[in-house]
């Protein structure tokens, strides 16, 4: 774009999920910094039944409260940055109203990846835990664009330093997510976590266990049963207690994170903190489901060379996707192995020399530069 041309009109179409929004904001900030393209926010409020309930996938506004949302009206944008099922529906509706002129960059996997909807996104940016069908509009990056801001870390440090400084070191934080297919939270997992916490206590340190909204009721009680009073805890089921998460991110020495929580794993890894991953046990049909995910990981990988065998694999993968015989999914073990291979994590209880010596690449390095390079041609000739 020459200096005489008008900068593109860019909208950030976002809901109320802070983690989702932060990933879009990273791209928007890079566009403003590196291209000089400023974007406008279109904040969406959902109708009560769709705050948790999932609306159907497609170009629609039926799920948003238009009286509380920012106006969605012309002039339509040249580019939309969005993430999540609910905002993506609105982005698709805007594109339809613009006669197909508006370009959509979706950060994260589309919900309900039916082929006719997937093609409506001009660029889909997914990270390595997702297994998208290998179409030309899909771009895969390494780690999700998740990063705790310096301002949040500093606020957490100020709020919690006096309280955490009284605890024996090392301060080892256990971040607990919740069961997700194909994995379960069972007695075997509870026993492994309890043993690791007992090890921290035996070494004179402090284990601090932190649950989340997805953590099963009673799980923290069972894990900490029989351990000394030196264990610290935060439980989402006690709404009056203060969440120490950002304070612990800023001040703790080591983290043990359940493998189901991609966001917590990445936020710790990006800080360069020592990180242990809790391998998760499979449910009743979990191993069969894992085979399906491994098959998708092989079929849906990006083109590796220009040979005829690769062309055949890609054609077969796309055909299976169109027939809905093999859909996009996530493969957690593959993502865990990436963190370990890059020296960003170790398995719980295993030696971790060098882990945490250096932070992961900044979310604005490498991957974001590649994203901007893919956005540029979307706006050429507008």
Burial of 320 (0-12, 13-18, 19+ CB in 10 A): middle
Residue 211 has pLDDT above 80, yes or no: yes
CATH number of the domain encompassing residue 26:
3.40.50
What is the domain count for the chain?
3
Residue 372's pLDDT band, with cuts at 50, 70 and 90, is very high
For CA atoms 232, 270, 276, 18, give the dihedral sign: positive
H helix intervals, the chain: 18-35, 49-52, 85-97, 115-118, 150-164, 187-202, 219-224, 245-251, 262-271, 286-299, 308-322, 332-341, 367-375
Let me know whether 171 and 99 are in one domain. Answer: no
Confidence (pLDDT) at 180: 85
Residue 354 located in a structural domain: no
Residue 20 located in a structural domain: yes
Residue 43 located in a structural domain: yes
pLDDT in tens, 41-84: 999 999 999 987 889 889 999 999 999 999 999 999 999 999 99
State which residues form the domain around 308. Answer: 286-330
pLDDT in tens, 172-192: 999 999 998 788 999 999 999
Let me know whether 199 and 249 are in one domain. Answer: yes
Residue 3 located in a structural domain: no
Let me know whether 272 and 319 are in one domain. Answer: no
Let me know whether 73 and 88 are in one domain. Answer: yes
CATH number of the domain encompassing residue 179:
3.40.50.2000
**How many C-beta atoms surround the C-beta of residue 93 within 10 A?**
18
Average pLDDT over residues 350-378: 76
Separation of alpha carbons 376 and 79, rounded Å: 11
140 vs 161, which has greater pLDDT? 161
291 vs 280, which has greater pLDDT? 280
Confidence (pLDDT) at 4: 47
pTM over 0.75: yes
Let me know whether 193 and 300 are in one domain. Answer: no
């Amino acid at each position: 774009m020459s200096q005489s041309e008008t900068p593109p009109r860019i909208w950030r179409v976002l809901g109320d999920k802070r983690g989702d929004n932060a990933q879009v904001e990273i791209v928007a900030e890079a566009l403003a910094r590196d291209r000089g393209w400023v974007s406008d926010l279109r904040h969406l409020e959902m109708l009560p039944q769709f705050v948790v309930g999932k609306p159907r996938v497609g170009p629609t506004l039926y799920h948003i409260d238009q009286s509380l949302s920012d106006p969605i009206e012309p002039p339509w944008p040249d580019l939309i940055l969005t993430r999540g099922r609910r905002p993506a529906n609105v982005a698709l509706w805007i594109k339809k109203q613009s006669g197909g002129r508006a370009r959509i960059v979706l950060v994260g996997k589309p919900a309900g990846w039916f082929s006719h909807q997937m093609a409506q996104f001009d660029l889909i940016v997914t990270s390595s835990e997702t297994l998208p069908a290998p179409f030309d509009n899909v771009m895969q990056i390494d780690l999700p664009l998740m990063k705790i801001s310096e301002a949040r870390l500093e606020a957490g440090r100020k709020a919690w330093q006096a309280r955490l400084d009284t605890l024996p070191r090392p301060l080892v934080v256990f971040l607990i997510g919740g069961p997700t297919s194909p994995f379960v939270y069972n007695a075997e997992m509870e026993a492994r976590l309890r043993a690791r916490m007992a090890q921290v206590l035996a070494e004179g340190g402090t284990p601090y266990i932190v649950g989340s909204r997805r953590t099963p009721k009673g799980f923290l009680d069972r894990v900490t049963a029989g351990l000394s009073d030196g264990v610290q805890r935060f439980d989402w089921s006690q709404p009056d207690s203060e969440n120490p998460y950002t304070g612990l991110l800023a001040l703790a020495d080591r983290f043990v994170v359940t493998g189901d929580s991609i966001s917590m794993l990445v936020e710790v890894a990006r800080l360069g903190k020592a990180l242990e991953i809790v391998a998760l046990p499979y449910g009743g049909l979990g191993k069969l489901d894992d085979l399906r995910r491994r098959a998708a990981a092989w079929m849906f990988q990006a083109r590796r060379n220009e040979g005829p065998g690769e062309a055949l694999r890609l054609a077969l993968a796309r055909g299976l996707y169109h027939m809905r015989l093999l859909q996009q999914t996530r493969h957690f073990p593959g993502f865990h192995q990436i963190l370990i291979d890059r020296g960003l994590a170790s398995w719980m209880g295993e030696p971790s020399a060098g882990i945490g010596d250096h932070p992961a690449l900044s979310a604005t390095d490498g991957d974001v530069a590649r994203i901007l390079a893919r956005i540029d041609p979307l706006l050429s000739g507008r």
